[in-house]
Structure 1
Amino acid sequence: MRILHVAAELFPLLKTGGLADVAGALPLALAPLGVDVRVLLPAFPAIRAGVSIEGEVATFAAPMGAGKLLFGRTADGVAVYLIDAPAYYDRPGNPYHDAEQRGYGDNHLRFALLGWVAAQLAQGMDAYWSPVVVHAHDWHAALAPAYLAASGRPAKSVITVHNLAYQGVFGRECFDALGLPPSFFDREGVEFHGNVSFLKAGLFYADHITTVSPSYAREITTAEQGCGLEGLLQARRSQLSGILNGVDEAVWNPASDDLLPATYSADKMTGKGKCKAALQHELGLDVQDAKPLFVVVSRLTDQKGLPLLLEVLPELLARGGQFALLGSGDAWLEEAFRQLAHQHPRQLAVKLGYDEAFSHRLIAAGDVIMVPSRFEPCGLTQLYGLKYGTLPLVRRVGGLADTVSDCSLENLADDCATGFVFRDLDVPDCLAAVRRTFALWERTREWKNVRKRAMLQSVGWQESASHYVTLYQQLMTA
């Protein structure tokens, strides 16, 4: 079974969000299940630097420009194709926007080329390997199903929506440069309110649509979370399913994580206390274990519910809790958290930006990881929290609802509680979850039981990879 994954990022080579984690881990999880999987990527500098190039597959002249297709492998052994088109991809910094956070003016061409090459591979661009299923990830790769449809569907196609809010919408004038049939610019096609929508194209033309959690698959068919595409998603409900993301346990495992000052496991927890003390010392917080340390690893945006935390933090701190945050995003949120850190230097610390090694230390050190999202397709940080015994405090939405069980009295009695869940995106409901956290913290034995139960949850990729294999098999026999 030959499967081509198409994405713009791949951990550990290039990461701006959870998409890279999935693109890096899922192929590795599929390989033991008998899947011959390869990944198609733009040759961004960081990606090319991390790939051992084995040869040139082909040269091409696409509607949007010429280039070469290279083949190589990552240090993990993942087989990858790289689109070598320096005019589009050889740029420093973020792959999507410039230093002023403006999307590159030719993004429609840069990522159309990604989808075009995917379809060409399905038509024999590599004389020795062609996919039976092309699996596109998010809007960057979403034209792949459209190009496949335009060429007679030489392979089946899947598109995975990691976040419906990002759709790759460009002006009508961009369509002519994409090389798609004129008839594709239609309401029954890529047209979206007079513009071109890459994501809509993928949702319309793919043989199957997946999202990264069952709850999110249901939520995006509603007006509240459908981002204007709920009608199309409702119409395609029978070709829409949710498969939870997993954790790459070779990277995220407290028993073997060499980024931590001390390792630990569900049966030997001493190292977690050492991680907490080391982080408190590193950040200038009071080094103590009498009160819980709450942590956040997140983009600082409204979607992630961070404005709500600003309103909740005063009571959290008044109860003696500590708080540490790693992230970047909206300038006003960065400044608000920075001001709080200045006002409470022994209780609250903020590190702006992103640091992969620090994120491991922070999650290992924390007692609670907060994910109060407005919407959350799957979420990975709560899964990392479960794995590291850092109990998630989350809003009941999307993948958060699918992966965390609240420490209610009934769940504690049934031995299934793994964290703290609140429903409404408001201060009273979130504060109620914070108060439950402090209440459980005071009951040391129960806290340890819940923590161990959380750490024993199955959050790896094995089960999810099996679901993908079943989907691929169904598509191939349809």
Structure 2
Amino acid sequence: MTIRALHVASELYPLLKTGGLADVAGALPSALIERGADVRVLLPGFPAVLAGLRDLQPVAQLGSRFGAPDVTLERGTLPTNGLAVYVIRAASLYDRPGNPYLNDEHVPYGDNAQRFALLGWIAAQLAQQLDPTWSPQIVHAHDWHAGLAPAYLKAAEREHGRAPARSVFTIHNLAYQGIFPAHQFSLLGLPHDFFNMHGVEFYGQLSFLKAGLYYTDRITTVSPTYAREIQTLAHGGGLDALLRHRAHDLSGILNGVDYTVWNPAADQLLATHYSASRLAGKLACKEALQKRFGLAQKSDALLFGVVSRLTEQKGLDLLLGAVPEIVKRGGQLVVFGTGDPALENGLKMVAQAHPESVAVELGFDETLAHTIIAGSDVVAVPSRFEPCGLTQLYALAYGSLPLVHCVGGLADTVADASLENLADDFATGFVFDRFDPKGLAGAIRRAFALYARRTEWKATQRRAMRQDFGWGASAERYLALYRELL
């Protein structure tokens, strides 16, 4: 039996990307299709999405919905792999330049509740033959933007006496909860008793994430360790009791890497290629990186790279405090990303003080991200919490040893270069347990110590590059979950 599944998300690589969610939405459907599933994706009609799809055809006219005068559903294909993508055309809700969630002042749009309620509602409509030629048996919703899809499915089940489809809800980051004022509940068209502690109500407000967690059939998150952490007070974001209550429906399935995009032997965005057996090209990538950022051209300086949102979640305030130590030991640091203005300014000041050793660039650019991952000796991901983390997985593939805090997916994917792990051929990076300056400093010292032992460093690089975090195993686990539900 071929399983028909609809993935519902707000972004999809390569059309639109603000974070790891887009990489997952871009790669997981293809991995499921390779294993025999019939998978399509539903996206809001943001300008970049409409511009990037091919062969758009109308599927349904929906008239006025959620404050948008003329909503239409269309279907197109993703040119890179032929994936079938449904897109919601509602110009008054989605046709805005720049960030899909925030205005120019970095403030969330005032109508985000309507914008993303429409996404969830159409997902539930597709499960009820909105497209006469195809309907899903599984609606797989990703993060808060798609959180109302399971709620609309539950409302349809109540109305018709049977569920139009089964649902899976994946938490990519529990910190983003889609919280809106209670009075906006009336805009959603859900049964009035859904606004309830046992429902979408969250401390007197309305939470799209809680709606997903409460009404879905199964919950997944993006690493086994994070699945345990979110059931605790410290990491549960106010939802730990609900997650503990649903523990038997919750599983952690590690995100994968799309090695067609992230492979140093064939990466289209790199000037020089290299592999685990031919590491010479990595030095050329390092030289190119130093040149690009105006750092001293020292091939023996230990170069730390950061490609990240510049936020406290990502632990960059902790890293900022460790920069003097890196510089004092003769190391270099390249930071690329955008985020909290205070962190941006702090990092820029350090770069101005040490122009030969530290460089900071604000922005996001896929090519530069690849250049930094390939050219760094160490890629730092010192996150306070990290559901899965993809950066450390990319770093492993590129032989750029990850330096990570022992949380979430970071704990599940990187093995510390302790003496015993090195002796057992197990080490792939540098892991610190305690989120404090001392913990981070210890990991940085281990990186310098291993770098001084060139033979062991190269052996660790090769071991890192041989790790397989492809989507295969994860896709099999999602398929097994779908089969259980059906």
TM-score, normalised with respect to structure 2: 0.97
Change (3 A) 1:54 1:353: closer
Query: What corresponds to 1:430 in structure 2?
Result: 440
Structure 2: runs of 5+ lacking an equivalent: 158-162
- CA-atom RMSD in angstroms: 0.8
2: CA distance, partners of 1:192 / 1:124: 32
Indicate yes or no: 2:102 matched with 1:97: yes
Query: What corresponds to 2:484 in structure 1?
Result: 474
Q: 1:268 aligns with which of 267, 275, 278?
A: 278
Aligned length: 476
Q: Within 5 Å, which residues of 2 pair with 1:368-447?
A: 368-447=378-457
Q: 2:74 aligns with which of 70, 80, 83?
A: 70
Q: 1:140 aligns with which of 145, 148, 157?
A: 145
Q: Within 5 Å, which residues of 2 pair with 1:140-219?
A: 140-152=145-157, 153-219=163-229
Matched residue SS, 2:384 = coil
1:71 partner letter: R
Indicate yes or no: 2:30 matched with 1:20: no
Query: What corresponds to 2:160 in structure 1?
Result: none
- The CA deviation string for residues 298-318 of structure 1, in whole angstroms up to 9 with x for no partner, is 111110000101111101110
Where has structure 1 moved over 2 Å in runs of 4 or more?
none
- The CA deviation string for residues 143-193 of structure 1, in whole angstroms up to 9 with x for no partner, is 000000000021000010000010001011100110000010111100111
Query: What corresponds to 1:335 in structure 2?
Result: 345
2: CA distance, partners of 1:103 / 1:57: 30
Indicate yes or no: 2:466 matched with 1:462: no
Contact 1:216 1:377 in 2 (8 A): yes
2: CA distance, partners of 1:394 / 1:121: 41
1: CA distance, partners of 2:178 / 2:231: 19
Contact 1:63 1:178 in 2 (8 A): no
Deviation, structure 1 residue 382: 0.3
Contact 1:53 1:70 in 2 (8 A): no
- The CA deviation string for residues 3-43 of structure 1, in whole angstroms up to 9 with x for no partner, is 00000000011000110010001111111100100000001
2:401 partner letter: L
Deviation, structure 1 residue 431: 0.4
Deviates more, 1:65-74 or 1:80-89: 65-74
Indicate yes or no: 2:109 matched with 1:109: no
Q: Within 5 Å, which residues of 2 pair with 1:319-330?
A: 319-330=329-340
1: CA distance, partners of 2:166 / 2:296: 56
Contact 2:65 2:71 in 1 (8 A): no
Contact 1:145 1:202 in 2 (8 A): yes
Query: What corresponds to 1:52 in structure 2?
Result: 54
Deviation, structure 1 residue 63: 4.8
Query: What corresponds to 1:278 in structure 2?
Result: 288
2: CA distance, partners of 1:54 / 1:93: 23
Query: What corresponds to 1:82 in structure 2?
Result: 87
- The CA deviation string for residues 170-221 of structure 1, in whole angstroms up to 9 with x for no partner, is 0111001100000101111001111110000000000000000000000000
Matched residue SS, 2:231 = coil
2: CA distance, partners of 1:234 / 1:368: 37
Deviation, structure 1 residue 62: 6.2
Matched residue SS, 1:12 = coil
2: CA distance, partners of 1:314 / 1:378: 29
Q: Within 5 Å, which residues of 2 pair with 1:219-238?
A: 219-238=229-248
Matched residue SS, 1:48 = helix
Contact 1:62 1:113 in 2 (8 A): no
1: CA distance, partners of 2:319 / 2:264: 27
Q: 1:124 aligns with which of 95, 120, 129?
A: 129
Q: Within 5 Å, which residues of 2 pair with 1:283-362?
A: 283-362=293-372
Query: What corresponds to 1:37 in structure 2?
Result: 39
1: CA distance, partners of 2:31 / 2:282: 28
Contact 2:224 2:408 in 1 (8 A): yes
Contact 2:289 2:372 in 1 (8 A): yes
Identity level (%): 59
Contact 2:59 2:72 in 1 (8 A): yes
- The CA deviation string for residues 392-445 of structure 1, in whole angstroms up to 9 with x for no partner, is 000000000000000011111111110000011101111001001111001100
1: CA distance, partners of 2:87 / 2:267: 30
2: CA distance, partners of 1:42 / 1:331: 29
